[in-house]
Structure formats: C-alpha cells, structure tokens
Chain A
C-alpha cells in the first residue's frame, strides 16, 4: 500500500443513489479508490456505468433531488468532503478540487468574458485585488498556451474555437492550483487532432503542478497514453482495477477484455479489414432492476450458474490487480 501521506484522494465505499419515478437505483455502488499526488487514475466504462456520477459525487455536485450520496467517505488531503457543510464545501470546490467538463461549447458562460470567468474562480478562493486576479487569469491563459492571452481574456466564449474553450476551462480549473483535478471526458467533444493536444496539455500541467488527476473516459487509447492506474466500472460498480500495463497485458474481467477486443485495429498492409467490428453482445442492464448476481453475467461469454446467483467479490490477483469475477482465473487463458 502506498504511503498514506502521499494520498491526495482516498475514496471509501462511495454510494450514490438516484430516486426516480421508475424506482431507486444505485448509480455508484460501494466504490473505493485512491489517487496519489501527481498520479493519473483513469476511470473507464460505457455510458451510464456511473463514471460521471462518481466525478460529481467527489465534487458533491450530484443534483439533489433526484440524486444523493448515501454512504462512504471522500478524503481529500485528509478532509472528509462528505462531512463538510455546503459553505465549507464551496471553499474547497474550485480551490483544492476542480473539474473539467466534457462539453467546452456549453460549459463556459456565454455572456461573461473568458478572463472574468477565470478571475471569478481566483477571487472566490484568494484574497486578491481584481488587478492581481486579472494578472493571474492572463498568466493561466498563457500557461494553457492560448496565444495573445491578454486579448483573449477580453473575449467571449463564442469567439473561441472548441479547443480554445477547453484550454480556457483547464486554465479556470487549475487557476487555484488544486490538489486534485477531475477531467470528465475532456477530449470527447473535440476534433481528433485537437484531442491529442488537449490531453498532452493536461498531462504536462499535471506534471508541472503535481496535481492528482482523475481522468474519466471511455477511450482506452487515452487510458494507455495518460494513466498509471485504471478502474473499470460496470453498472455502478468497480469490476477491475490495475496498473495500466498489467491491465492491458492481462485483463482479469471478461468485460475489460470485451472492451479491449472492441477497439478497431488498423489491419497490416495487404490484409483485409474485418467486415464487422467486435462488440460486446447485449446492452447495459437497467440500473433499476439489476440482476442478483454479477451485472455483467447476461452478456458474459464465460458466465456460469454461480455468476447469476452471487455477486463476485473484488479479489486481489497480485500487485494490486483487483477483479470482481468468479472466472477471473480463466479470462487470461481464453484471451
């Protein structure tokens, strides 16, 4: 186990539920993980697996109603965020923990100048004059490599391209030098060429500032490039956790293996591309009516009777490689 003083984030048994008309569902169920200073942890999974709700739970921004964090603890630099009142939490948000969202086009306020939006973030947490805050804002825009930062600071979001807006979002999120940055699909909405730039920028700044990073994505390419450790989520639960090399070398959960198999490979020269991409059969189960046993069992090629009856516990397969699967031992062989 890592030295505890090195931990920026320590999440234990987090449980976030939603109360809807069709019933109660656990969007995040019994999730635990840690992030060290300067470390990148990727959370991977399909849409609706609870990745984004996890991020919002860490920020305590889950819309209530219908959502509520009902159990667990979120220790950020030793402080349990779930025990704070709203006023105390506001002092932490944007200051010690901040977040970049998926949609740069809609995540910035369209009627407030870019610079003023960053200045606001700075002045909420630092006792600075508006002049000093403005200098910091321009400096942050320079840091995220926006050309002519002083001029751009006076512009409105619609005057910037998507990539520029995401850079501005990053500048805003990092303006107070947070201990932890959560990036929820930060490159999904961008052009492919811009994606690589933005990801590289986030990783550079993370290294420079020593920030812990929780990177939420469904793109395994991004994971391989950016993360040191990976959590795979399915139907609100963690099904596998491992170092990035271990995970790609030998996934222990059939779901992880399915995800990897569905990455389209570029065929070698002269070889015809396969007519059909690999996929995981079936769809994500409704969270309101989860099966009693393993939620993945109905889609799993390796499923046996036991999978449908009992939920498999997370088991350590050595070196912190955790997997929740009754047949984890057989996955490597089949793959």
Chain B
C-alpha cells in the first residue's frame, strides 16, 4: 500500500491487554496508511483480526485509546475517510465466501470505528514467494489462483472491485487455501476520491487505468493485478509499474523469461493479463479461470539426480 502522505507524527497502537468491547487486544499485526490491524481474542478466546480506522496524518493517538483529528480542518476529512472505511465494511459484509476474508462485527469506539474479521492462520503469498526462493510450482500457482478467482468472482458479482490485489493481500491458510484480504482500496468504485485521500495503489500491481483513467476501472483492472501477482510468483518481484510501462514499456514477456520452466499456456495467461490495453485482457474472472484450469502437460524438467533428491527432501507441503 502506498502511503499517500507522509505522516509527520506516528500513531500509537492500542496496548496488548486493552479491552475493546468484548475483545482483548493481543498484539498489533500491522499498521498502514489508513488503519491498524490487531490480533485480539473474543470472549470465548477465539482469535479475531480487528482493523482500526486510524488515518496517519489526519488523526492522532499519542497515548490512551481515544483518537483525535490533528486539526479542525482535518476533522472533516477524517469523517469523510470514515465513510470510505464504511464502504469497505459494506462491501465485505455482503460477501460470505471461503476465499474472501469474512467480516464478523463492526462497531464504534474511541471516537473511531473498528471492523472485526475472521482471523486466518497461515502466511501471505508474498511470504510464501520469499520462502520458496522463486521456485513456486506451476501446480501451486494454478490451484491457488483458480481458487482465489472463485472469491474474486463473488466480489465482482457484488459490483465491488478489490483494486489492490497483490501477493501481500493474498493469504494462504495452513490448509493451502487462499483468502483475499484487505479491501481498503475497494471503496474507490463506490465513492469519489478527495485530495487528502487520493486513490491507493501498489506500483507494479496496479493496472494503468488506476493511475489516471479511473472511469475505465472494471473487472479487467483486478485481472491485471492477478497477472502481476502470478508474475511475481515466478520473478520474485513485481513487474515494471504500469505508469512507467505506458511511457516506455520495458516489461519482457513471461513467455520469453521463463520458456521451458513453466508451461507455455501459463506464461501466455500472464502476458494476457498484463496487457496495457484493458480491452485486450481477459474481460471477466470467469474467462481467466477457465484458462487457468485447463489441463496442460507440465514442461519437461531437466533434472540432475542431485536436484531430484534435494527436491524430494525439501518437498514443500503445497
């Protein structure tokens, strides 16, 4: 997530042990531009993830629990941002799908609002890519993304766009199933951005139309990010940022980069999703999913006995 404005003062997280309604804060999981996420336990000691609306630069909590706007002028923007936080809640509340993070509660406290989500155990796809050292298996990619697209289809059916799909926002549960998390950018389809809360996007994963043609946003926008995420599985890094590609496209096609290492069909899917012209990409999640689920023979691997033994020993659980 790109920070829109640099925070001059940083916010204090809620202390471990803090009792927030019927939830007890265990620890802070992450803190970003607009919110902080905590691990907490509910009254039956079940873990939940709680997202707190706390936009850096607009609102401040130095000590204690109560959040205050940094200035009177920012008070209005803080309130406006609340509305965006509501959009995220609204979008997620209507989606009950195993591959989309589930919201279980939403409430107001400490002069701000909180969204309680199911806590998932596992790691992000980003952590997985880092752990496997750029050796993510084709079978894993196909299975994870085919499942993830089931969730994304449900999201699009609700007329919501995620707009920030990237490996860090794809969570892989312990059983290997993926969950789409962080709908913090999703609001953009539903409301108009204002200067202080300009659109969020992650360079490399955001589609070109997210930079300046926001009226062109559509399912194909999320599909670009899916393509970029698969690309990152192979490369270990994001493709060249789309705004730079529009100026001077230096992106080498996946088909060239990984010929022989992954099936030609998978590489073609990546290149298809990463088309700069949104009309040339898969137009719906369904058509992309169909392509991903096609049966293709795995590419012949030249393997030495040593690597073969090493692979067997290091066999990953996915």
Q: Do A and B come from one complex?
A: no
